[in-house]
Structure 1
Amino acid sequence: MVHSDWGDWLPTAIEAANPDGVAVWYLGCNGFVLKGEDGTTLFIDPYLGTGDPPRTIRMIPVPFDPRDVTEADAVLATHEHVDHVHGPSQAPILAETGAQFYAPDDSVAVARGEEAWDDNYAVDTAQYNEIEEGDSFEVGEFTVHVEPAHDPDATHPVSYVVEHDAGTIFHGGDTKPSDEFARVGSEYDIDLGIMAFGTVGNVPDKETREPKRTRWYNDENQIVEAASDLQVDRLLPSHWDMWKGLTADPKVLHHHAKSFTHPRRLEVVEIGDRVDVTGE
Protein backbone atom coordinates (compact mmCIF):
# COMPACT_ATOMS: atom_id res chain seq x y z
CA MET A 1 0.00 0.00 0.00
CA VAL A 2 1.34 3.42 -0.99
CA HIS A 3 0.76 6.37 1.31
CA SER A 4 1.29 9.77 -0.31
CA ASP A 5 2.73 12.73 1.55
CA TRP A 6 1.07 15.17 -0.87
CA GLY A 7 -2.45 13.85 -1.39
CA ASP A 8 -3.74 13.90 -4.97
CA TRP A 9 -2.74 17.42 -6.07
CA LEU A 10 0.01 16.30 -8.48
CA PRO A 11 -1.99 13.75 -10.53
CA THR A 12 -4.89 16.20 -10.49
CA ALA A 13 -2.63 18.97 -11.85
CA ILE A 14 -1.26 16.66 -14.54
CA GLU A 15 -4.72 15.60 -15.66
CA ALA A 16 -5.92 19.23 -15.75
CA ALA A 17 -2.94 20.46 -17.78
CA ASN A 18 -3.29 21.45 -21.44
CA PRO A 19 0.32 21.75 -22.60
CA ASP A 20 1.49 23.56 -25.70
CA GLY A 21 3.73 20.76 -26.96
CA VAL A 22 4.86 18.34 -24.25
CA ALA A 23 4.82 18.91 -20.49
CA VAL A 24 7.27 16.89 -18.40
CA TRP A 25 6.84 16.46 -14.64
CA TYR A 26 9.58 15.14 -12.36
CA LEU A 27 8.32 12.60 -9.82
CA GLY A 28 11.61 12.28 -7.95
CA CYS A 29 14.00 9.32 -8.19
CA ASN A 30 13.94 8.58 -11.94
CA GLY A 31 10.20 8.93 -12.44
CA PHE A 32 8.65 11.23 -15.03
CA VAL A 33 5.28 11.95 -16.61
CA LEU A 34 5.10 13.18 -20.21
CA LYS A 35 1.83 14.68 -21.46
CA GLY A 36 1.28 15.84 -25.02
CA GLU A 37 -0.98 18.57 -26.30
CA ASP A 38 -3.56 15.98 -27.41
CA GLY A 39 -3.63 14.47 -23.92
CA THR A 40 -1.51 11.34 -24.40
CA THR A 41 0.17 10.59 -21.06
CA LEU A 42 3.26 8.46 -20.48
CA PHE A 43 4.74 7.46 -17.13
CA ILE A 44 8.44 6.48 -17.18
CA ASP A 45 9.95 4.66 -14.17
CA PRO A 46 7.47 5.97 -11.58
CA TYR A 47 8.54 4.80 -8.10
CA LEU A 48 6.50 5.53 -4.99
CA GLY A 49 8.21 3.19 -2.54
CA THR A 50 10.35 4.10 0.44
CA GLY A 51 13.29 1.80 -0.29
CA ASP A 52 14.66 -0.82 2.06
CA PRO A 53 15.74 0.99 5.25
CA PRO A 54 18.36 1.09 6.60
CA ARG A 55 20.02 0.07 3.31
CA THR A 56 18.19 2.45 0.98
CA ILE A 57 16.38 5.33 2.65
CA ARG A 58 14.07 7.60 0.65
CA MET A 59 14.92 11.27 1.18
CA ILE A 60 11.98 12.91 -0.65
CA PRO A 61 8.18 12.83 -0.34
CA VAL A 62 5.98 10.18 -1.93
CA PRO A 63 4.19 12.49 -4.37
CA PHE A 64 0.95 10.59 -4.99
CA ASP A 65 -0.98 7.37 -4.49
CA PRO A 66 -0.99 5.46 -7.82
CA ARG A 67 -4.69 4.72 -7.34
CA ASP A 68 -5.34 8.45 -7.78
CA VAL A 69 -4.07 8.31 -11.37
CA THR A 70 -7.07 8.10 -13.69
CA GLU A 71 -5.43 9.04 -17.00
CA ALA A 72 -2.45 7.16 -18.44
CA ASP A 73 -1.78 5.59 -21.82
CA ALA A 74 1.48 3.77 -21.06
CA VAL A 75 3.95 3.00 -18.29
CA LEU A 76 7.54 2.49 -19.45
CA ALA A 77 10.32 0.86 -17.44
CA THR A 78 14.01 1.17 -18.29
CA HIS A 79 15.28 -1.84 -16.32
CA GLU A 80 14.42 -4.39 -13.66
CA HIS A 81 15.61 -2.68 -10.44
CA VAL A 82 12.95 -2.14 -7.79
CA ASP A 83 12.91 1.66 -8.13
CA HIS A 84 12.14 1.24 -11.84
CA VAL A 85 9.82 -1.81 -11.81
CA HIS A 86 7.67 -1.79 -8.68
CA GLY A 87 4.27 -3.40 -8.38
CA PRO A 88 2.82 -1.15 -5.65
CA SER A 89 3.80 1.94 -7.67
CA GLN A 90 2.97 0.88 -11.22
CA ALA A 91 0.44 -1.94 -11.24
CA PRO A 92 -2.41 0.17 -9.76
CA ILE A 93 -1.89 2.71 -12.56
CA LEU A 94 -2.25 -0.07 -15.13
CA ALA A 95 -5.28 -1.53 -13.35
CA GLU A 96 -7.04 1.83 -12.92
CA THR A 97 -6.41 3.20 -16.42
CA GLY A 98 -5.91 0.20 -18.72
CA ALA A 99 -2.54 1.65 -19.79
CA GLN A 100 0.00 -0.56 -21.54
CA PHE A 101 3.26 -1.58 -19.82
CA TYR A 102 6.40 -1.48 -21.98
CA ALA A 103 9.67 -2.89 -20.67
CA PRO A 104 12.62 -5.14 -21.60
CA ASP A 105 12.39 -8.89 -20.90
CA ASP A 106 13.89 -8.95 -17.40
CA SER A 107 11.60 -6.14 -16.30
CA VAL A 108 8.49 -7.84 -17.69
CA ALA A 109 9.62 -11.01 -15.91
CA VAL A 110 9.46 -9.16 -12.58
CA ALA A 111 5.93 -7.93 -13.31
CA ARG A 112 4.61 -11.25 -14.65
CA GLY A 113 6.48 -13.61 -12.36
CA GLU A 114 8.13 -12.35 -9.20
CA GLU A 115 5.45 -9.76 -8.39
CA ALA A 116 2.54 -11.32 -10.34
CA TRP A 117 0.82 -8.06 -11.14
CA ASP A 118 -1.94 -9.83 -13.06
CA ASP A 119 -2.87 -11.85 -9.96
CA ASN A 120 -2.23 -9.28 -7.23
CA TYR A 121 -3.39 -6.06 -8.89
CA ALA A 122 -5.95 -7.12 -11.53
CA VAL A 123 -3.62 -6.25 -14.40
CA ASP A 124 -4.59 -7.90 -17.69
CA THR A 125 -1.80 -9.98 -19.21
CA ALA A 126 -2.53 -8.25 -22.54
CA GLN A 127 -1.13 -5.05 -20.99
CA TYR A 128 2.42 -6.47 -20.91
CA ASN A 129 4.61 -5.51 -23.87
CA GLU A 130 8.18 -6.83 -24.05
CA ILE A 131 10.49 -4.55 -26.00
CA GLU A 132 14.16 -4.56 -26.97
CA GLU A 133 16.77 -2.30 -28.50
CA GLY A 134 15.87 -1.30 -32.05
CA ASP A 135 12.11 -1.44 -31.47
CA SER A 136 9.79 1.51 -32.06
CA PHE A 137 6.15 1.83 -31.05
CA GLU A 138 3.40 4.41 -31.07
CA VAL A 139 1.50 5.62 -28.03
CA GLY A 140 -1.02 8.23 -29.10
CA GLU A 141 0.86 11.31 -30.30
CA PHE A 142 4.26 9.91 -29.22
CA THR A 143 6.68 7.66 -31.09
CA VAL A 144 8.96 5.77 -28.71
CA HIS A 145 12.30 4.36 -29.88
CA VAL A 146 14.12 1.80 -27.73
CA GLU A 147 17.86 2.41 -27.61
CA PRO A 148 20.76 0.82 -25.69
CA ALA A 149 21.80 1.83 -22.19
CA HIS A 150 24.99 1.13 -20.26
CA ASP A 151 24.12 0.22 -16.68
CA PRO A 152 26.54 -2.46 -15.38
CA ASP A 153 24.33 -3.08 -12.32
CA ALA A 154 21.28 -4.07 -14.41
CA THR A 155 20.73 -7.29 -16.37
CA HIS A 156 18.93 -5.72 -19.35
CA PRO A 157 18.69 -1.92 -19.31
CA VAL A 158 17.36 0.20 -22.16
CA SER A 159 16.93 3.88 -22.85
CA TYR A 160 13.98 5.59 -24.55
CA VAL A 161 13.89 8.31 -27.18
CA VAL A 162 10.40 9.80 -27.22
CA GLU A 163 9.53 11.81 -30.33
CA HIS A 164 6.71 14.31 -30.62
CA ASP A 165 5.94 17.06 -33.10
CA ALA A 166 7.06 19.56 -30.45
CA GLY A 167 10.43 17.92 -29.77
CA THR A 168 12.37 14.85 -28.67
CA ILE A 169 13.04 13.60 -25.15
CA PHE A 170 15.69 11.07 -24.08
CA HIS A 171 15.31 9.06 -20.86
CA GLY A 172 18.41 7.01 -20.07
CA GLY A 173 17.29 5.21 -16.94
CA ASP A 174 20.42 4.69 -14.84
CA THR A 175 22.74 4.61 -17.83
CA LYS A 176 26.32 5.76 -17.71
CA PRO A 177 28.20 6.90 -20.85
CA SER A 178 27.88 4.45 -23.73
CA ASP A 179 29.73 3.92 -26.98
CA GLU A 180 26.28 3.97 -28.61
CA PHE A 181 25.44 7.51 -27.60
CA ALA A 182 27.35 9.27 -30.36
CA ARG A 183 25.22 7.32 -32.86
CA VAL A 184 22.02 8.08 -30.94
CA GLY A 185 22.95 11.76 -30.81
CA SER A 186 23.48 11.85 -34.57
CA GLU A 187 20.21 10.05 -35.36
CA TYR A 188 17.92 12.17 -33.20
CA ASP A 189 17.67 15.86 -32.43
CA ILE A 190 17.30 15.58 -28.65
CA ASP A 191 15.74 18.62 -27.00
CA LEU A 192 15.65 17.30 -23.43
CA GLY A 193 17.95 14.60 -22.07
CA ILE A 194 17.18 12.94 -18.72
CA MET A 195 19.99 11.08 -16.96
CA ALA A 196 20.71 9.82 -13.45
CA PHE A 197 23.21 11.78 -11.36
CA GLY A 198 24.58 11.14 -7.89
CA THR A 199 27.58 10.82 -5.64
CA VAL A 200 29.66 7.86 -4.55
CA GLY A 201 28.65 6.88 -1.02
CA ASN A 202 28.63 4.13 1.57
CA VAL A 203 25.51 1.95 1.31
CA PRO A 204 24.98 -1.17 3.43
CA ASP A 205 25.63 -4.33 1.44
CA LYS A 206 22.44 -6.21 0.54
CA GLU A 207 23.61 -9.42 2.24
CA THR A 208 26.16 -8.47 4.92
CA ARG A 209 24.67 -5.03 5.70
CA GLU A 210 28.22 -3.74 6.07
CA PRO A 211 28.90 -0.30 4.53
CA LYS A 212 30.10 -0.65 0.96
CA ARG A 213 31.47 2.03 -1.35
CA THR A 214 28.72 2.40 -3.97
CA ARG A 215 28.46 4.17 -7.32
CA TRP A 216 25.05 3.67 -8.90
CA TYR A 217 24.74 6.84 -10.99
CA ASN A 218 26.78 9.20 -13.15
CA ASP A 219 29.21 11.56 -11.48
CA GLU A 220 29.67 15.12 -12.77
CA ASN A 221 32.04 14.18 -15.57
CA GLN A 222 30.14 11.10 -16.71
CA ILE A 223 26.76 12.81 -17.07
CA VAL A 224 28.26 15.68 -19.10
CA GLU A 225 30.16 13.19 -21.27
CA ALA A 226 26.93 11.33 -22.02
CA ALA A 227 25.00 14.55 -22.65
CA SER A 228 27.74 15.77 -24.98
CA ASP A 229 27.75 12.53 -26.99
CA LEU A 230 23.96 12.62 -27.22
CA GLN A 231 24.09 16.29 -28.29
CA VAL A 232 21.22 17.19 -25.97
CA ASP A 233 20.08 20.80 -25.91
CA ARG A 234 18.85 20.67 -22.31
CA LEU A 235 20.16 18.28 -19.66
CA LEU A 236 17.84 17.34 -16.81
CA PRO A 237 19.65 15.41 -14.03
CA SER A 238 17.51 12.96 -12.07
CA HIS A 239 17.90 10.54 -9.14
CA TRP A 240 20.21 12.91 -7.24
CA ASP A 241 17.49 13.56 -4.63
CA MET A 242 16.54 10.00 -3.72
CA TRP A 243 18.80 7.83 -1.55
CA LYS A 244 20.50 8.82 1.69
CA GLY A 245 24.26 8.80 1.17
CA LEU A 246 24.03 9.14 -2.63
CA THR A 247 22.37 12.55 -2.94
CA ALA A 248 24.12 15.30 -4.90
CA ASP A 249 23.86 18.97 -5.87
CA PRO A 250 22.94 19.24 -9.57
CA LYS A 251 23.88 22.93 -9.65
CA VAL A 252 27.57 21.92 -9.77
CA LEU A 253 26.97 20.64 -13.29
CA HIS A 254 27.00 24.23 -14.56
CA HIS A 255 30.76 24.25 -13.99
CA HIS A 256 31.32 20.89 -15.68
CA ALA A 257 29.17 21.63 -18.72
CA LYS A 258 30.16 25.21 -19.53
CA SER A 259 33.09 24.35 -21.84
CA PHE A 260 31.06 21.86 -23.92
CA THR A 261 28.83 22.65 -26.90
CA HIS A 262 26.26 20.24 -25.47
CA PRO A 263 24.33 20.42 -23.26
CA ARG A 264 23.41 23.99 -24.07
CA ARG A 265 21.33 24.40 -20.93
CA LEU A 266 20.95 22.72 -17.56
CA GLU A 267 17.44 22.08 -16.23
CA VAL A 268 17.59 21.74 -12.44
CA VAL A 269 14.22 20.55 -11.14
CA GLU A 270 12.87 19.24 -7.88
CA ILE A 271 10.17 16.67 -7.27
CA GLY A 272 6.82 17.93 -8.58
CA ASP A 273 8.35 20.48 -10.98
CA ARG A 274 7.28 20.80 -14.60
CA VAL A 275 9.32 21.69 -17.69
CA ASP A 276 8.01 22.06 -21.23
CA VAL A 277 9.19 21.04 -24.68
CA THR A 278 7.55 23.34 -27.19
CA GLY A 279 9.72 23.20 -30.28
CA GLU A 280 10.78 26.83 -29.91
Structure 2
Amino acid sequence: MVESDWGDWLPRAIEDADPDGVAIWYLGCNGFVLKGSGGTTLFIDPYLESGNPPRTIRMIPVPFDPEEIAEADAILGTHEHTDHIDGPSQAPILAGTGATMYAPDDSLGVVEDEGWTDEWAIEESQLEEVEEGEEFEVGEFTIHVEHSNDPDATHPVSYVIEHDAGTVFHAGDSKPSEEFADIGREYDIDLGILAFGTVGMVGEGDEASRTRWYSDENEVIEAANDLRIDRLLPSHWDMWKGLTADPKVLHHHARSFDYPRRLEISEIGDRVDL
Protein backbone atom coordinates (compact mmCIF):
# COMPACT_ATOMS: atom_id res chain seq x y z
CA MET A 1 0.00 0.00 0.00
CA VAL A 2 1.49 3.31 -1.14
CA GLU A 3 1.22 6.14 1.38
CA SER A 4 2.08 9.70 0.43
CA ASP A 5 4.08 12.08 2.60
CA TRP A 6 2.37 15.06 0.97
CA GLY A 7 -1.34 14.30 1.00
CA ASP A 8 -3.32 15.19 -2.14
CA TRP A 9 -2.17 18.72 -2.93
CA LEU A 10 -0.13 17.77 -6.02
CA PRO A 11 -2.90 15.73 -7.73
CA ARG A 12 -5.33 18.56 -7.06
CA ALA A 13 -2.85 21.12 -8.47
CA ILE A 14 -2.49 19.04 -11.64
CA GLU A 15 -6.28 18.67 -11.99
CA ASP A 16 -6.85 22.39 -11.47
CA ALA A 17 -4.11 23.49 -13.89
CA ASP A 18 -5.20 25.07 -17.19
CA PRO A 19 -1.95 25.46 -19.13
CA ASP A 20 -1.69 27.60 -22.26
CA GLY A 21 0.62 24.99 -23.79
CA VAL A 22 2.00 22.05 -21.83
CA ALA A 23 2.61 21.95 -18.08
CA ILE A 24 5.14 19.42 -16.77
CA TRP A 25 5.51 18.31 -13.16
CA TYR A 26 8.55 16.47 -11.82
CA LEU A 27 7.58 13.61 -9.50
CA GLY A 28 11.12 12.78 -8.39
CA CYS A 29 13.10 9.73 -9.53
CA ASN A 30 12.32 9.70 -13.28
CA GLY A 31 8.59 10.32 -12.98
CA PHE A 32 6.73 13.13 -14.75
CA VAL A 33 3.22 14.34 -15.52
CA LEU A 34 2.45 16.26 -18.72
CA LYS A 35 -0.84 18.11 -19.13
CA GLY A 36 -1.77 19.84 -22.36
CA SER A 37 -3.94 22.87 -23.00
CA GLY A 38 -6.78 20.54 -24.03
CA GLY A 39 -6.62 18.64 -20.75
CA THR A 40 -4.86 15.48 -21.96
CA THR A 41 -2.75 14.13 -19.09
CA LEU A 42 0.22 11.79 -19.49
CA PHE A 43 2.21 10.10 -16.73
CA ILE A 44 5.75 8.86 -17.40
CA ASP A 45 7.35 6.32 -15.04
CA PRO A 46 5.56 7.40 -11.84
CA TYR A 47 7.16 5.55 -8.90
CA LEU A 48 5.60 5.96 -5.47
CA GLU A 49 7.27 3.36 -3.28
CA SER A 50 10.24 3.54 -0.92
CA GLY A 51 12.66 1.24 -2.71
CA ASN A 52 14.04 -1.88 -1.08
CA PRO A 53 15.93 -0.80 2.05
CA PRO A 54 18.70 -1.21 2.97
CA ARG A 55 19.84 -1.82 -0.62
CA THR A 56 17.91 1.02 -2.29
CA ILE A 57 16.75 3.79 0.04
CA ARG A 58 14.43 6.54 -1.18
CA MET A 59 15.73 10.01 -0.31
CA ILE A 60 12.70 12.11 -1.32
CA PRO A 61 9.00 12.25 -0.34
CA VAL A 62 6.31 10.11 -1.95
CA PRO A 63 4.43 12.93 -3.73
CA PHE A 64 0.95 11.42 -3.83
CA ASP A 65 -1.12 8.30 -3.29
CA PRO A 66 -1.99 6.73 -6.68
CA GLU A 67 -5.63 6.38 -5.64
CA GLU A 68 -5.78 10.19 -5.54
CA ILE A 69 -5.32 10.43 -9.32
CA ALA A 70 -8.70 11.08 -10.94
CA GLU A 71 -7.56 12.23 -14.40
CA ALA A 72 -5.07 10.38 -16.61
CA ASP A 73 -5.15 9.41 -20.28
CA ALA A 74 -1.97 7.34 -20.47
CA ILE A 75 1.04 6.05 -18.58
CA LEU A 76 4.26 5.69 -20.57
CA GLY A 77 6.78 3.16 -19.27
CA THR A 78 10.39 3.37 -20.41
CA HIS A 79 11.77 0.03 -19.16
CA GLU A 80 11.19 -2.87 -16.82
CA HIS A 81 13.05 -1.76 -13.66
CA THR A 82 10.94 -1.49 -10.49
CA ASP A 83 11.27 2.29 -10.19
CA HIS A 84 9.78 2.62 -13.68
CA ILE A 85 7.22 -0.23 -13.85
CA ASP A 86 5.57 -0.85 -10.49
CA GLY A 87 2.14 -2.27 -9.74
CA PRO A 88 1.32 -0.48 -6.47
CA SER A 89 2.39 2.85 -8.03
CA GLN A 90 0.74 2.58 -11.44
CA ALA A 91 -2.03 -0.03 -11.44
CA PRO A 92 -4.35 2.06 -9.19
CA ILE A 93 -4.00 4.96 -11.65
CA LEU A 94 -5.01 2.70 -14.54
CA ALA A 95 -7.88 1.21 -12.53
CA GLY A 96 -9.17 4.56 -11.29
CA THR A 97 -8.99 6.50 -14.56
CA GLY A 98 -9.30 3.93 -17.37
CA ALA A 99 -5.99 5.19 -18.78
CA THR A 100 -3.91 3.10 -21.17
CA MET A 101 -0.39 1.96 -20.34
CA TYR A 102 2.12 2.03 -23.20
CA ALA A 103 5.37 0.16 -22.62
CA PRO A 104 7.82 -2.21 -24.36
CA ASP A 105 7.47 -5.98 -24.18
CA ASP A 106 9.69 -6.66 -21.16
CA SER A 107 7.91 -3.95 -19.17
CA LEU A 108 4.54 -5.50 -19.92
CA GLY A 109 6.11 -8.80 -18.91
CA VAL A 110 6.47 -7.35 -15.43
CA VAL A 111 2.79 -6.36 -15.50
CA GLU A 112 1.87 -9.96 -16.38
CA ASP A 113 4.23 -11.50 -13.81
CA GLU A 114 2.86 -9.27 -11.06
CA GLY A 115 -0.75 -10.06 -12.02
CA TRP A 116 -1.97 -6.49 -12.37
CA THR A 117 -5.17 -7.52 -14.14
CA ASP A 118 -5.94 -10.02 -11.38
CA GLU A 119 -5.23 -7.74 -8.41
CA TRP A 120 -6.64 -4.48 -9.79
CA ALA A 121 -9.62 -3.60 -12.00
CA ILE A 122 -7.57 -3.35 -15.18
CA GLU A 123 -8.57 -4.67 -18.61
CA GLU A 124 -6.10 -6.22 -21.04
CA SER A 125 -7.20 -3.55 -23.52
CA GLN A 126 -5.53 -0.93 -21.29
CA LEU A 127 -2.10 -2.46 -21.92
CA GLU A 128 -0.43 -1.54 -25.22
CA GLU A 129 2.97 -2.85 -26.30
CA VAL A 130 5.24 -0.41 -28.14
CA GLU A 131 8.59 -0.66 -29.84
CA GLU A 132 11.11 1.64 -31.45
CA GLY A 133 9.93 3.35 -34.62
CA GLU A 134 6.24 3.39 -33.68
CA GLU A 135 4.05 6.47 -33.41
CA PHE A 136 0.70 6.88 -31.67
CA GLU A 137 -1.59 9.63 -30.45
CA VAL A 138 -3.03 10.27 -27.02
CA GLY A 139 -5.41 13.20 -27.11
CA GLU A 140 -3.52 16.28 -28.20
CA PHE A 141 -0.09 14.58 -28.01
CA THR A 142 1.73 12.66 -30.74
CA ILE A 143 4.21 10.20 -29.23
CA HIS A 144 7.17 8.64 -31.02
CA VAL A 145 8.94 5.61 -29.56
CA GLU A 146 12.72 5.88 -29.97
CA HIS A 147 15.94 4.13 -28.97
CA SER A 148 17.35 4.20 -25.43
CA ASN A 149 20.81 3.07 -24.33
CA ASP A 150 20.40 1.63 -20.84
CA PRO A 151 22.84 -1.30 -20.47
CA ASP A 152 21.16 -2.38 -17.22
CA ALA A 153 17.74 -2.86 -18.86
CA THR A 154 16.65 -5.65 -21.19
CA HIS A 155 14.46 -3.53 -23.49
CA PRO A 156 14.41 0.19 -22.77
CA VAL A 157 12.82 2.84 -24.97
CA SER A 158 12.66 6.62 -25.02
CA TYR A 159 9.74 8.85 -25.97
CA VAL A 160 9.50 11.98 -28.12
CA ILE A 161 6.25 13.71 -27.18
CA GLU A 162 5.02 16.36 -29.64
CA HIS A 163 2.42 19.04 -28.97
CA ASP A 164 1.51 22.29 -30.71
CA ALA A 165 3.33 24.08 -27.88
CA GLY A 166 6.61 22.15 -28.25
CA THR A 167 8.40 18.83 -28.01
CA VAL A 168 9.50 16.88 -24.92
CA PHE A 169 12.03 14.03 -24.94
CA HIS A 170 12.22 11.49 -22.10
CA ALA A 171 15.21 9.17 -22.36
CA GLY A 172 14.39 6.81 -19.50
CA ASP A 173 17.68 5.94 -17.80
CA SER A 174 19.64 6.12 -21.05
CA LYS A 175 23.30 6.90 -21.26
CA PRO A 176 24.70 8.57 -24.43
CA SER A 177 23.82 6.73 -27.63
CA GLU A 178 24.93 6.82 -31.25
CA GLU A 179 21.24 7.13 -32.19
CA PHE A 180 20.84 10.38 -30.25
CA ALA A 181 22.41 12.47 -33.01
CA ASP A 182 19.81 11.12 -35.45
CA ILE A 183 17.00 11.87 -32.99
CA GLY A 184 18.37 15.39 -32.54
CA ARG A 185 18.31 15.98 -36.28
CA GLU A 186 14.82 14.55 -36.74
CA TYR A 187 13.05 16.41 -33.93
CA ASP A 188 13.23 19.93 -32.57
CA ILE A 189 13.44 19.10 -28.86
CA ASP A 190 12.39 21.97 -26.60
CA LEU A 191 12.74 20.13 -23.28
CA GLY A 192 14.85 17.01 -22.80
CA ILE A 193 14.82 14.81 -19.70
CA LEU A 194 18.01 12.85 -18.97
CA ALA A 195 18.83 10.72 -15.92
CA PHE A 196 21.84 11.96 -13.96
CA GLY A 197 23.63 10.61 -10.92
CA THR A 198 26.91 9.84 -9.29
CA VAL A 199 28.85 6.60 -8.81
CA GLY A 200 28.36 5.35 -5.26
CA MET A 201 27.94 2.45 -2.90
CA VAL A 202 24.49 0.88 -2.84
CA GLY A 203 23.56 -1.38 0.04
CA GLU A 204 24.89 -1.81 3.56
CA GLY A 205 27.97 -3.45 5.06
CA ASP A 206 29.35 -6.47 3.23
CA GLU A 207 26.44 -6.30 0.79
CA ALA A 208 27.35 -2.81 -0.46
CA SER A 209 28.60 -2.57 -4.03
CA ARG A 210 29.98 0.18 -6.25
CA THR A 211 27.11 1.18 -8.51
CA ARG A 212 26.80 3.31 -11.63
CA TRP A 213 23.25 3.37 -12.95
CA TYR A 214 23.01 6.84 -14.52
CA SER A 215 25.01 9.21 -16.69
CA ASP A 216 27.64 11.37 -15.02
CA GLU A 217 28.10 15.10 -15.68
CA ASN A 218 30.02 14.65 -18.93
CA GLU A 219 27.74 11.95 -20.30
CA VAL A 220 24.58 13.98 -19.65
CA ILE A 221 25.95 16.96 -21.56
CA GLU A 222 27.25 14.73 -24.36
CA ALA A 223 23.78 13.26 -24.78
CA ALA A 224 22.07 16.66 -24.56
CA ASN A 225 24.41 18.11 -27.17
CA ASP A 226 23.85 15.21 -29.57
CA LEU A 227 20.08 15.54 -29.09
CA ARG A 228 20.27 19.34 -29.62
CA ILE A 229 18.15 19.93 -26.53
CA ASP A 230 17.16 23.54 -25.90
CA ARG A 231 16.27 23.04 -22.22
CA LEU A 232 17.79 20.17 -20.25
CA LEU A 233 15.93 18.88 -17.20
CA PRO A 234 18.13 16.41 -15.29
CA SER A 235 16.25 13.71 -13.37
CA HIS A 236 16.92 10.80 -11.01
CA TRP A 237 19.72 12.66 -9.16
CA ASP A 238 17.51 13.03 -6.08
CA MET A 239 16.36 9.46 -5.56
CA TRP A 240 18.70 6.82 -4.14
CA LYS A 241 21.00 7.04 -1.16
CA GLY A 242 24.58 6.76 -2.40
CA LEU A 243 23.75 7.91 -5.94
CA THR A 244 22.45 11.44 -5.37
CA ALA A 245 24.16 14.32 -7.18
CA ASP A 246 24.05 18.11 -7.51
CA PRO A 247 22.53 19.10 -10.88
CA LYS A 248 23.86 22.65 -10.56
CA VAL A 249 27.32 21.37 -11.52
CA LEU A 250 25.99 20.79 -15.02
CA HIS A 251 26.19 24.54 -15.68
CA HIS A 252 29.99 24.24 -15.77
CA HIS A 253 29.95 21.22 -18.07
CA ALA A 254 27.39 22.71 -20.48
CA ARG A 255 28.83 26.18 -20.95
CA SER A 256 31.25 25.33 -23.78
CA PHE A 257 28.76 23.28 -25.84
CA ASP A 258 26.10 24.46 -28.28
CA TYR A 259 23.46 22.45 -26.43
CA PRO A 260 21.71 22.51 -24.04
CA ARG A 261 20.88 26.19 -24.36
CA ARG A 262 19.54 26.26 -20.81
CA LEU A 263 19.34 24.08 -17.71
CA GLU A 264 15.94 23.54 -16.11
CA ILE A 265 16.83 22.47 -12.55
CA SER A 266 13.67 21.10 -10.92
CA GLU A 267 12.93 19.47 -7.60
CA ILE A 268 10.14 17.04 -6.81
CA GLY A 269 6.75 18.75 -7.15
CA ASP A 270 8.06 21.58 -9.36
CA ARG A 271 6.22 22.63 -12.53
CA VAL A 272 7.79 23.83 -15.76
CA ASP A 273 5.96 24.90 -18.92
CA LEU A 274 6.30 24.78 -22.69
Say yes or no: TM over 0.5. Answer: yes
- The equivalent of 1:239 in structure 2 is 236
Note if 1:97 corresponds to 2:97: yes
- The equivalent of 2:152 in structure 1 is 153
Q: Aligned-residue CA RMSD in angstroms?
A: 1.0
**Take 2:256 and 2:221, find their aligned partners in 1: how far apart are those partners?**
10
Contact 1:55–1:209 (Cα < 8 Å) also in 2: no
- The equivalent of 1:110 in structure 2 is 110
Alignment partner of 2:216 out of 215, 219, 243: 219
**Take 1:256 and 1:221, find their aligned partners in 2: how far apart are those partners?**
7
Query: SS in structure 1 opposite 2:136?
Result: strand
- The equivalent of 1:169 in structure 2 is 168
Contact 1:147–1:159 (Cα < 8 Å) also in 2: yes
- The equivalent of 2:262 in structure 1 is 265
- The equivalent of 1:138 in structure 2 is 137
Runs of 4+ in 1 over 4 A off after TM superposition: none
- 1:212 Cα deviation (Å)? 1.1
Query: SS in structure 1 opposite 2:13?
Result: helix
Contact 1:45–1:75 (Cα < 8 Å) also in 2: yes
**Take 1:168 and 1:108, find their aligned partners in 2: how far apart are those partners?**
26
Instruction: Describe the superposition over 1:213-247 as per-residue Cα deviations: whole angstroms up to 9, x where unpaired.
Output: 10000100000000000000000000000000000
**Take 1:204 and 1:65, find their aligned partners in 2: how far apart are those partners?**
27
Note if 1:275 corresponds to 2:265: no
Query: SS in structure 2 opposite 1:129?
Result: strand
Percent identical pairs in the alignment equals 73
**Take 1:209 and 1:25, find their aligned partners in 2: how far apart are those partners?**
38
- 1:204 Cα deviation (Å)? 2.7
Counterpart AA for 1:175 = S
- 1:210 Cα deviation (Å)? 1.7
**Take 1:262 and 1:163, find their aligned partners in 2: how far apart are those partners?**
20
Unaligned runs of 5+ residues in structure 2 are: none
- 1:209 Cα deviation (Å)? 6.0
- The equivalent of 1:65 in structure 2 is 65
Contact 1:28–1:270 (Cα < 8 Å) also in 2: yes
Matches within 5 A, 1:27-42: 27-42=27-42
Counterpart AA for 1:186 = R
Query: SS in structure 1 opposite 2:93?
Result: helix
**Take 1:139 and 1:75, find their aligned partners in 2: how far apart are those partners?**
10
Q: TM-score, with normalisation over the residues of structure 1?
A: 0.97
Counterpart AA for 2:111 = A
- The equivalent of 2:75 in structure 1 is 75
Instruction: Describe the superposition over 1:243-265 as per-residue Cα deviations: whole angstroms up to 9, x where unpaired.
Output: 00000000000000000110000
Q: TM-score, with normalisation over the residues of structure 2?
A: 0.99
Counterpart AA for 1:180 = E
**Take 2:37 and 2:111, find their aligned partners in 1: how far apart are those partners?**
30
Unaligned runs of 5+ residues in structure 1 are: none
Counterpart AA for 1:102 = Y
Counterpart AA for 2:212 = R
Contact 1:24–1:274 (Cα < 8 Å) also in 2: yes
Query: SS in structure 2 opposite 1:143?
Result: strand
Counterpart AA for 1:236 = L
Counterpart AA for 1:33 = V
**Take 2:206 and 2:93, find their aligned partners in 1: how far apart are those partners?**
33
